[in-house]
Amino acid sequence: MGKSISYGAIFGILIAMWEIFAGNFLHQLQLPFKGEILSTFDIFIFSYVLAKTGKRETILLITVVALVIRAFISGTFIPGAVIGLGATGTLYFAGSYFSRFKYYISGLLAGLWAPFFFGYIQLKLLGPEILQSYKILFSKIGLGTSPSAIINFTLLTGAIAGLAASLTGKKMAGK
């Protein structure tokens, strides 16, 4: 139990700092897919800790610690970032109940949150022109121009982050 609390506190602080500093940096650069980039790191950390400790509850503790720091201590309250972080942690936790494929399913669920939530917000705020911007971006990097390209890209990054972290965590834990 004590190890889970330690992991929850340490990795919760790490995720909160990542979200604050990397999120601000990406925002200043005006890069697309900020949510996907941030949540991929979060998924990696969640998978690593789950592989290392084997305790799903640690994911919730990490999420709560990161949310408290992100929402109240960082100095700026950004609702989208707090909602995104909370949803990523909660969906990852929900996916962790699948015993055999928990890293993949958790990564996929948590990874899907960003494009649906931020895609909806962008569509509401910026209108349908934002879809054209994404089509141009995706065609330039060779991912195709269909709306499913964004979903496939996000599924792939979430699954890769979950797989890589689970392998890393198992290797470091000697499993």
The least confident of 34-38, 39-43, 60-64, 65-69 is 34-38
Residues 35-46: tens digit of each pLDDT: 777 877 888 888
CA atoms within 13 A on the CB side of 13: 5
Residues 5-15: tens digit of each pLDDT: 889 899 999 99
The CB density around residue 17, as the number of other CB atoms within 10 Å, is 14
pTM above 0.85, yes or no: no
